[in-house]
Structure formats: C-alpha cells, structure tokens
Amino acid sequence: MRASRMMTLLLQLQVRGQASARELARHLEVSERTVQRDVEALVAAGIPVRSTRGPAGGYRLDRGYRTRLTGVGLDEAGALAFLGLAGPAEQLGLGEMLEGARIKVWASLTGEARERAGRTVERFHLDPVRWYGTPEPVPCLTQLADAVWRDRRVRLRYVRDGRATAREIEPLGLVLAAGDWYLVALRDGQRRTYRASRVREVEPLDDVVARPAGFDLARSWAEARRELEDEEPGVEVTVRAAARALPRLRRLVPVHGQALVPVTATEEVELTVPFENESWACSALLSLGAAVEVLRPAAVRERVADEARGAAAHYARPPTNSARRAGAVRASSAMNGTAATVAE
C-alpha cells in the first residue's frame, strides 16, 4: 500500500513539476505528515526530491530526473479505454485503476507530446450524460461487467413491461449510450439487447460463453441501433401542432420521423408523424397538452380525448379529504419553517 502511494507521489511530481504537501495529501487522501514521511523515504532511496519553503513552495524533482517505473499494469491497461470517461469508469468499479493508468501514461510523455496532451484536455471534454437527466441506477452493473469480462453465462431477473422474467443469456459486451448502460448478449443463439437498469438480479453460471468469431461490439451495437431505428412505425398520426410544441414533438417520435417535424416553424402546422405503437403515441401526445390536437386516425384521437376528459374530471371536483389534509400539513410545515427562520 505504501509503495503504491509513494509511486503515485513520484509520478505526480514528474507530471506536475512541483506540488505542495497539501496538494499531494489531498490527491493521495493522506495527511501532510504522511506525505512528508514518504518524501523522506524517497530521498533516502536516492530519489532527488527537493523541497522549497514559502507560500509558493512545495516538492519537486531535480531537473531532468525521470522515473522509469511507468509501466501500466494489466488491470490499469483494461481501464485505459475509459480515459476521459471517469464517471462510467467509476460505475464499473474501474475508477482507481483508471487514475493509476492515466497518471502513468501522462508521466511517460515528454516535451511537445505532453504539451499537446495538455492542450487537448484544456479544449475538449467528453460528457456522455444527456441534458436535464441523471443516469438510471444500475445496481447490477459490476456483476454484469464481471460476467462480460470472464465470459460467463448468467441467469438474469429482468423487468419488462412491469413484469419480472428470467432469462439465461450469454453476455458479449456493455455499451454506454446517452448516459444509460445496455447489455449486448446472445439468447438462444440470437443477439439481444437489455437495458442494464432493468436487471434486478444476476446469477453467474458455470458455462463459458463461446464468443462468435470476429464479433465486434461497436459494429454489433451500431447494427442493433439501426435495426431499432429503422423499424416500420406501428401507427402514423396526423396532428395540428403549435409552433412552440414542435421541438418537443420531434424528440418524441422515432429517428426516421424526426425530419418530418419543422422545428423552425413560427406558426401552427399540420403534419403526420410515426410512433412505435398506439399506446406510446397517446402518452407522448398527451404530454404536449393543448399545444397539439390529434386529427387522425380516429382511434388515436378518441383515445387521447378519453384520457384528457378523465384528467379534466379529476380537477372538476374538489380534492378528497386526504388530499386536503396533505395540503394542510404542507401549509402548516411551511408556516412553521418560516417561524423558525424568523426566530433564528
């Protein structure tokens, strides 16, 4: 443990040129006294670490000194694919290994190469999470990653359409798309894609996965995505939409229908857009409220109208006693909170 920490300290000095005891302590998650003792041990071992006093002081290596101990370990090498993606690496349990690999790669660079890498970091950043959203919880992600890494068949408890089902699958890879994790696997010899957040339980089995010859995860994912996006629509709906609703409507229809929505329009428009199925069409269009009117087909128009009438009926009558009590409790809590604030 101490040897690993001292190695990290040495690499930090090699990368940064100079660092204070406080900065090193914060990075290594130890006390400044521990940093001091580690530096003393490095000096005793013949490493030319120099200290400078004063506000701008700290520790540094003699000019020209470079450690040769920058070899990336096997576990660290496996984490290198996530350089620039610290969040996903943490989710997979690779955060510490990624940091170790990153600092070693950085320490191995010299001169113009390190300067170019630094300029890149300053100017480009990868953020895989979509706007106004948080990643779905994936409690079984590390278990899935372990099965993928060890090529082990697993039995999943998976929730679909509100029902839990059991599946025996052969995991092939994990994909992060727009902030959400997906598992690509084989079931009965056919490729399947599972949303990782819907996996409730993972039971490793003894069977070894025979990965298909020439399998390429990136290509397989691109094919699966293209097949899904190119599916024939289950229903086409003609609507009259206010201009303000068009950007939101575009996000609700499948990819192959998004070009049909003129997001720069300034007046009400009539257009026909596809949806995966009638249920999703009704839910999506209801979310746009009065800004969109369904014109046809008649079945979708009537279904949306029924849902709208049902929702309006809730608000046409006074709230129930339980709702009134809940409102009174919230009002009382708010008043008590205000009084407490004034008293303070």
Q: 3-state DSSP: the chain helix, strand, coil percent, rounded to 5? A: 50, 20, 30
> Is 37 found in the same domain as 18?
yes
Do 223 and 241 share a domain, yes or no? Answer: no
Whether pLDDT at 73 is above 80: no
User: What secondary structure does DSSP assign to 157-206, as a single string?
Assistant: EEEETTEEEEEEEEEEEEEEETTEEEEEEEETTEEEEEEGGGEEEEEEEE
Question: Which is more confident, 341 or 27?
Answer: 27
In a shared domain, residues 213 and 256: no
86 and 155 assigned to the same domain: no
301 touches 277 (CB < 8 A): no
Does residue 289 sit within a domain?
yes
More confident residue, 47 or 154: 154
Q: Are residues 222 and 172 in the same domain?
A: yes
Q: Looking at the domain assignment, is residue 343 inside a domain?
A: no
Please check whether residues 220 and 252 belong to one and the same domain. Answer: no
| Per-residue confidence (pLDDT) for residue 1, from 0 to 100 | 58
**Res 316: pLDDT:** 86
Listed residues 24, 40, 61: the one ending a domain: 61
Answer yes or no: do 47 and 85 share one domain: no
Asked if the structure places residue 159 within a domain, the reply is: yes
Identify the CA nearest to 170 among candidates 160, 185, 156, 182.
185
**156 domain-assigned:** yes
Residue percentage of the chain with pLDDT more than 70: 71
pLDDT at 191 over 70: yes
Q: For the domain that residue 41 is a member of, what is the CATH number?
A: 1.10.10.10
Q: 202: domain CATH number?
A: 2.30.30.520
Residue 168 lies in a domain: yes
How many domains does the chain contain in total?
4
pLDDT at residue 339 is higher than 50: no
Which residue type sits at 39?
V
Q: Is residue 262 domain-shared with residue 307, that is, in the same domain?
A: yes
Q: Is the pLDDT of residue 344 over 50?
A: no
129 found inside a domain: no
When mean pLDDT is compared across 68-72, 83-87, 148-152, 228-232, the lowest value belongs to 68-72
Reported confidence tier of residue 341, pLDDT bands at 50, 70, 90? very low
Q: Note down the domain range covering 165.
A: 141-229
> How is 104-156 classified by DSSP, letter by letter?
HHHHH--HHHHHHHHHHHHH-----SPTT--PPP-TTHHHHHHHHHHTEEEEE
Is 318's pLDDT higher than 70? yes
Q: Tell me whether residue 328 is in a domain.
A: no
3-state secondary structure of 269: strand
Pick from 40, 61, 82: which residue ends a domain? 61
Do you know the residue count of the chain? 344
pLDDT digits (tens, 9 = 90+) for 163-190: 899 999 999 999 888 778 899 999 999 9
Run of H or E including 296: strand 292-296
pLDDT for 335: 44
Query: What pLDDT, on the 0 to 100 scale, is given for residue 45?
Result: 67
Is the pLDDT assigned to residue 77 strictly greater than 60?
Answer: no
Give 78-111 pLDDT, tens digit per residue: 554 555 566 666 667 666 666 666 666 666 656 6
For residues 119 and 145, membership in a common domain is answered with no
Instruction: State the pLDDT at residue 342.
Output: 33
pLDDT of residue 334: 47
pLDDT at 188: 92
Residue 344 lies in a domain: no
